Structure 1
Amino acid sequence: MGTAQKQFNVGGMSCSFCAESIEKAYRRTDGVTDVDVSLAHEEVLVQYDDDRIGEVEVKDTLRDLGYTIRDPDKEKQYEDQQAELADGKRRLVLAGSASIVVAALMAWMVFVMGRFESESPVMDLATLALALGTMFGPGRYIKKKAYQSLRRGIFNQHVLLEAGAFAGLLGGFLGLSVFPGFPTVHFFAVSVFITTYHILSEYTSLIVRTRASQAVQSLLDLRPDTARRVTDDGVEEVPVDDLKVGDRVRVKPGENVPVDGEVVDGKSTVDESVATGESIPEEKSAGDEVIGGSVNETGTLLVEVTATGEDAFLNQVAHEIEEARAMKPGIIQLADRVLRYFVPTVLTIAALSFAFWVVAPLAWGAGPNVQRGAFAALAVLVLGYPCALGMATPLALIRGGGKAANRGILMRSGDAFQISPDVDHIILDKTGTITVGKPAVSEVVAFDGEEDNVLAMAASAEAFSEHPLADAILDRADGQGVEYVDPESFDSVTGKGVRATVAGEDVLVGKPGWLTNEGVDLSWAGDEVERLQHRGLTISGVVRGNDLVGLIGIGDEIKDDAAAAVQRMKDAGIAPVMITGDNERTARAVAEEVGIDRVMADVLPDEKRREVGRMQDEGHRLAMVGDGINDAPALTQADIGIAIGAGTDIAIESADVVLMGDRLGGVMDAYEIGEESYRKTRQNLLTAFTFNGVGVTAATTGLVHPVFAMVAMVLSVSAVLANNFAGQLVSGEGVNTDFTVESGDAGGIAEEGTAAD
């Protein structure tokens, strides 16, 4: 027994105030030694002394606060999210309906009957019923959160909401029984409206997270969870988790290698870019090691399992991701920084307002004005509830998220908006991010005749090969319209090249070292070989008879917009940095071509994450862009993780932003949208805070009628709405809340629906 650690996926968190409340609750729980809360990933990591507190009590703390613990199974988590969205919609419909009815009653009373007070017990009681029904019906969960927060001495937005809602109830009851002339209906209406506004605010936040998760879900291509285990009795299909060290599994062409192991039979090329970042596949034969998650491309392999469980590569990466997520620097949203001080300030002002009107009149010889003091305190709590403040950030997120979706970008978390203005470095993976991630012919050098002749000879020799480098040569020949023929004979030399007979002539295509061993003189072409190697290209020499007739340089092609995207980063004052598992020579060559000055090469997945953490420790705000499993820990650690949508599922799940296509320019599009949305958030908050600040100040006089409080609340929300969508509606842009991926189109988003259009 001793220190234990548990990680939970949590439902019901809507803002970083929620995250702060959870942290405070755990830090005040006896036996808990440390806690980390990630709002972006909706996770809580708790370390505790299991001699003093058990796992059940640890879970109960979360549940007592009003949050749910989701099933660790991914499919169940997805179902839980859908259930939360349905519950949120149901609450909003019920509370919204009550608000509409109350608004209609107030309008009838003011505009038809011509008075502020109903003077009708039936109307008073009807409004009371609607207030109680809203507060203890769809708003009941808020009371649970507020009670549990207060019980632990935590003052948050739930506490302030309930203070305002119960103030409305109290004001209404005072009007019914103690102070004739009190605006009973309007006070009861307050309870309905602020509860509804809060439910609306939380629902909009939930839409942002859940709809983005739905789109991401459609991108995920999870690896098969079974493997073909070879036994003395034959081949059986078993869950990967059931494999043990020493078991043998068969891996066919095109399949993922299910586990870490050693090849005992067969020859193939294996794409290990998930671990190394190298786009050129490795030749594998008996005695070579393979990594779980890599892709077997050409031949069938028999692999003996060498590592399972925590020792396996993918599990080590998963552990790195969890650790990075738990230790990621916390972000307090701008609205929550305001609310942190706003909540206790409003409660204090309400108490002081009541005390002032009870005590101050004694100074000028009058009696305590309890009625005015009560009116002032209640009005402060009513006007102090930050309806518009609560909506300011979610509305900006929806606006920015919809704009991003129209450009094929998914903004998965509020951090992507909050941090964008502060980003000073963007760290870029190489393979699949700056480059296409697929071998292609970059240059053909002809020593004997035309370039097309060299390409035709190489393509003819490689026509029967299944090697990715052969595919690159054939693609280049097809692209240039070069005609080639099938060889009369063909022999592949694993890891070296091919021998073939083409039109009656012996042809060799392969690595320079192998050609030299075959007796071909390459010394006179040394300068060209060195030049191509300096460019970071893999070289295949083309030999006819015993003479070198040309060289073919094959590399990972740089994306068309990579250089322009890097220049946009520099123009915005952001320093681009390349970090890659590729070798130094290749990395430098690519960096020079796109204009990146700082390069970190030969970096393993855990080292990538450490480099990101080191730069954060230096005070930098970082965005990390990647597409592979080897990028996932660094994507999680970075302040903003940006995944290329054509990449691996683990990278996508680890990111705050997902680019649905493979265009690198989307990185700066996301940055600019995030920066704009953050600016819009600040404007929204200033607008909302102005209304709240002026309203609270006026309310301390005890002369503010609740109907004017209602008008102020409506005006503040309307002003935020108008500011949030100003320009967007004029330009005709939609505000997406529902995103789905077009079938077969990695670069676009189909709109299922729009909101606030």
Structure 2
Amino acid sequence: MGTTQNQFNVGGMSCSFCAESIKKAYSRTDGVEDVDVSLAHEEVLVRYDDETLSEVELKDTLRDLGYTIRDPDKEKRFEEQQAELTNGKRRLLLAGSASIATAGLMLWMIFVLGRFESTSLAMDLVTLGLALGTMFGPGRYILEKAYNSLRRRIFNQHVLLEAGAFAGLFGGFLGLFVFPEFPTVHFFAVSVFITTYHILSEYTSLLVRTRASQAVQSLLDLRPDTARHVTDDGAVKEVAIDDLEVGDHVRVKPGETIPIDGAVVDGESTVDESVATGESIPEEKQSGGEVIGGSINETGTLLIEVTATGEDAFLNQVAREIEQARAMKPGIIQLADRVLKYFVPGVLTIAVLSFLLWILVPAVVPGTILGTGPQVQTGAFAALAVLVLGYPCALGMATPLALIRGGGKAANRGILMRSSDAFQIFPDVDHVVLDKTGTITVGTPAVSEVVALESDESEVVATAAGAEAFSEHPLADAILEDADERGVEYADPKSFESVTGKGVTATVDGDDVRVGKPDWLTTEGIDLSAATDEIERLQHRGLTVSGIARDGTLVGLVGIGDEIKADAAATIERMIDAGITPVMITGDNERTAEAVAAEVGIDQVMADVLPDEKRDKIGRLQYEGHRVAMVGDGINDAPALTQADIGIAIGAGTDIAIESADIVLMGDRLGGVMDAFEIGTESYRKTRQNLLAAFTFNGVGVAAATTGLVHPVFAMIAMVLSVTAVLANSFGGQLLAGEGVNTDFTVDGENTAIGQEDEATV
């Protein structure tokens, strides 16, 4: 017993102010040693003394604050997110209907009857009913959050909202029973409007987050749930992965994902371990060779003995690394929340001071412009007006609206921005670390160069393709594909033999042909002396070299490597032009890494980096004061993606990498990295403009309200103007340009919509 930790997936967090509330609540709980909250991943990691606290008590704290604890199972968590979205939409429809009805009453009273004050008790009571119905109906959850926050002496946006809402109620009651000249209907209307605005603000944030999760969910399929367990008597049966034990035997067929870590007992095959090791060239596996869970078995059937399960398995070690990286990731406070951190207590303080100003100053110094004797009515009006005008409805909407605009624009370019962090932090990024395999390169072997020694290139390719025609090796596929692209015809071999890990021998058009590693050809009696320089040159480029010999004579060489993406060099140039330093990180040897880096224009290279070292490399750059984005696609990239300030996953990559990222590029186009940077920069600029406009309205309104002369009608007009300004700035130019605000994206040629219908409803 002693220090332990628990991680919870939390629903209901809409901004980093929520994250701060959770941190404060736990920091004031006896037994809690440390807490980390990830808004982007909606997770809370708590380290505590299990002799003082229980897991149930930790969960109760979250529930008391008004948050939900989602099921750790992905399927159930997805269903819970859908339920939250449905509830949010229902609340918004109810509150929105009440707001429309209230606005209708106010407009009828002002423009039809020509009065600012109530005309009848019935109208007062109807508006009161709408206010109470909104606050204690769809807005009840906000009230509960505010109450539980206050109980823990936490002042957040929920507290400020309820202060404004109850101020509206109180002002209305004063008009009903104490001061007839108080604008009763307008004060009750305030309670309706600010509650509705808050529900709208939270719903937009929930909408973006949930729709992003839905899009990611469609990409997730990390590993098989079952494996073919071979029993001692030779029988084969399907068992759950979690039921396997060390020493069990598992059969894996060609094309399948290897479900566990193990050692090959029988069989020969090539295994693509790029998702784990970063190496693009598949590894030859035979009896005694080790395999990694998550790798792809390509050519032969393997019988594997399980060597690690549970926490010792590679995938689970990666998951633990990700958890630790999330917990240690630098906390991000949204710009709006930095303002609200001081704005909330400031508004509450000004409201109290306004009331005291009108009570004390005229009593102590009679005859001033404030009057003679305590001005209770004016002081109450001023304090209530401050609380009403102080609720930052536009301020709360500024970030979500900019996020929706930017998210829709990004989705049109095949980019999924999963969190608002991606918008705020990206403009400050000064280093982008790119994995090599599958990110800068395509991730599959391809013929890069053919060297003809005895004839022309076409004849060399035809000879090699004829020998490799029956081979299932990935390097053979590269040669055959090159032959097809060149339009070279080749004959099928009369005889064929594969020498595992070395090459092939075949009879093609009556000639003895051997294709394989230079060292193996030498042992077969082939003289390579004339090609020594060419072999070294190709290897210096980082290519895998295969020699082609016909009837004992070396006729040519084929250099096979991982082809660089077509837009890689242009993307790197865009980074440099934007003042960003590109860095390549890879598990490949330094020679291969330097060759690829030179071709795309990268000066800084981290080579020979083991899978578990990538996160440390990212952390080192952050320790030096850099803002770092990481781009990757493999299982081995996942902890580094989480550690980075911005994690960017290639959508064609592995599920665990996608799930660990803040941004997902649908497909494999690298140029999306800089597209995301430009969209993020523009969206953050819009956010700052929105916040400036909203804060100006709120700041001027609060200052004016202290005079006791601000009528609620003008408060409502200020509210509408501030929201209109934010909406116009967020979407005005986009709508005028005919872009709309849809959030469609294309994945492998298929169009997918992220919440387009719901956003249109909003």
What interval of TM-score do these two structures reach, taking the shorter chain for normalisation? Answer: over 0.9
> Of 464, 474, 497, which residue of structure 1 is paired with 2:480?
474
**In 2, distance between residues paired with 1:570 and 1:356?**
57
Distance in structure 1 (CA, Å) of the matches to 2:745 and 2:145 = 33
**Would you say the 8 A contact 2:211–2:755 is kept in 1?**
no
Q: Secondary structure at the match of 1:419?
A: helix
Work out whether 1:376 is the aligned partner of 2:373: no
Q: Following TM superposition, by how much is the alpha carbon of 1:81 offset from its aligned partner in structure 2, in angstroms?
A: 0.5
Equivalent residues in 2 for 1:232-381, closer than 5 Å: 232-233=232-233, 234-362=235-363, 363-365=365-367, 366-381=372-387
CA distance in 1, matches of 2:127, 2:158: 23
- Cα distance in 1 for partners of 2:577, 2:75 equals 43
In the alignment, residue 347 of structure 1 is paired with which amino acid? Answer: L
| Contact kept in structure 1, 2:175 and 2:183, CA below 8 Å | yes
Deviation, 1:124, is 0.2
Determine the C-alpha separation between the residues in 2 that align with 1:428 and 1:285. 32
The amino acid that maps onto 1:73 is D
Aligned equivalent of 1:538, options 509, 527, 544: 544
1:699-714 alignment, distance < 5 Å:
699-714=705-720
Contact 2:3 / 2:48 at 8 angstroms: preserved in 1? yes
Pairing of 1:156-195 with structure 2 (within 5 A): 156-195=156-195
In structure 2, what is the equivalent of residue 44 of structure 1? 44
The answer to whether 1:82 aligns with 2:82 is: yes
Which amino acid is 1:534 matched to? H
Provide the C-alpha distance between the structure 2 equivalents of 1:119 and 1:498, rounded to a whole number of angstroms: 97
Whether 1:416 aligns to 2:422 is yes
* Partner AA of 2:517 in structure 1: K
Is the partner of 1:304 in helix, strand or coil? strand
The one of 485, 488, 507 aligned to 1:501? 507
- Measured against aligned partners, the alpha-carbon deviations of 1:433-476 in whole angstroms (never above 9, x if no partner) come to 00000000000000011100000000000000000000000000
1:569 positional shift: 0.1
Paired residues of 1:215 and 1:741 also in contact (CA < 8 A): no
User: Deviation of residue 221 (structure 1)?
Assistant: 2.5
| Percentage identity across paired residues of the two chains | 80
TM-aligned CA deviation for residue 24 of structure 1: 0.4
- Equivalent-residue separation in structure 2 for 1:605 and 1:422 (angstroms): 27
Aligned residue type for 1:327? M
Q: Using a 3 Å threshold, how does the CA distance of structure 1 residues 677 and 438 change in structure 2: closer, same or farther?
A: same
Equivalent residue in structure 2 for 1:489, among 463, 483, 495 = 495
1:384-423 equivalences in 2 (<5 Å): 384-423=390-429
Deviations 1:215-237 (A, max 9, x none): 11112233211011111331111
Match of 1:26? Answer: 26
SS of equivalent to 1:257: coil
Query: Which of the residues 569, 575, 582 maps onto 1:563?
Result: 569
Runs of 4+ in 1 over 2 A off after TM superposition: 739-742, 748-757
Residue 118 (structure 1) shift: 1.4
Shift in Å, 1:195: 0.2
Q: 1:658-717 CA distances to partner (integer Å, 9 max, x unpaired)? A: 000111100000000000000000000000000001100000000000011001000100
SS at match of 2:218: helix
* Offset, 1:756: 5.8
Measured in 2, the distance between the counterparts of 1:439 and 1:274 equals 14
Q: Which amino acid aligns with 1:281?
A: P
Query: Is 1:550 the counterpart of 2:553 in the alignment?
Result: no
> 2:417, 2:662 within 8 Å by CA — same for their partners in 1?
yes
Amino acid at match of 1:459: A
Structure 2: how far apart are the matches of 1:752 and 1:723? 22
Distance 2:755 2:319 in 1: 33
1:663 paired to 2:665: no
Shift in Å, 1:119: 2.6
Matched, 1:753 2:756: yes
Consecutive unaligned residues of structure 2, counting only runs of 5 or more, are none
1:652 paired residue number:
658
Matched-pair contact (CA < 8 Å) for 1:405–1:749: no
Q: What is the CA–CA distance in structure 2 between the aligned matches of 1:605 and 1:64, rounded to whole Å?
A: 41
CA distance in 2 between partners of 1:433 and 1:552 (Å): 24
**Does the aligned pair in 2 maintain the 1:569–1:575 contact within 8 Å?**
yes
Deviations 1:286-333 (A, max 9, x none): 011111111100000000111111111111011001110111100000
| Displacement of 1:751 | 6.5
Instruction: Report the counterpart of residue 92 of structure 1 in structure 2.
Output: 92
Cα-to-partner distance string for 1:570-598 (whole Å, 9 max, x where unaligned): 00000000011112111111000000000
Contact 2:414/2:746 (8 A) holds in 1 = no
Letter of the structure 2 residue corresponding to residue 336 of structure 1:
D
Deviations 1:85-134 (A, max 9, x none): 00000000000000000000000100111101113000000000000000
Measured after TM superposition, the shift of residue 741 of structure 1 is 5.4
Q: Distance in 2 between matches of 1:13 and 1:334?
A: 16
TM-score (norm 1): 0.99
Q: Quick check: 2:412–2:745 contact (8 Å CA) kept in 1?
A: no
What is the rounded CA distance, in whole Å, between the counterparts of 2:470 and 2:336 in structure 1? 63
The 3-state SS of whatever aligns with 2:4 is strand
CA separation in 1, counterparts of 2:451 and 2:691? 62
Alpha-carbon deviations, 1:481-505, whole Å to 9, x = none? 0000100100000000000000111
In 1, Cα distance between equivalents of 2:243 and 2:207: 38
The range that moved more, 227-236 or 338-347, is 227-236
The DSSP-based 3-state class of the residue aligned with 2:324 is: helix
* Unmatched segments (≥5 aa) in structure 1: none
TM-score, normalised relative to structure 2: 0.98
Query: In 2, distance between residues paired with 1:626 and 1:604?
Result: 14
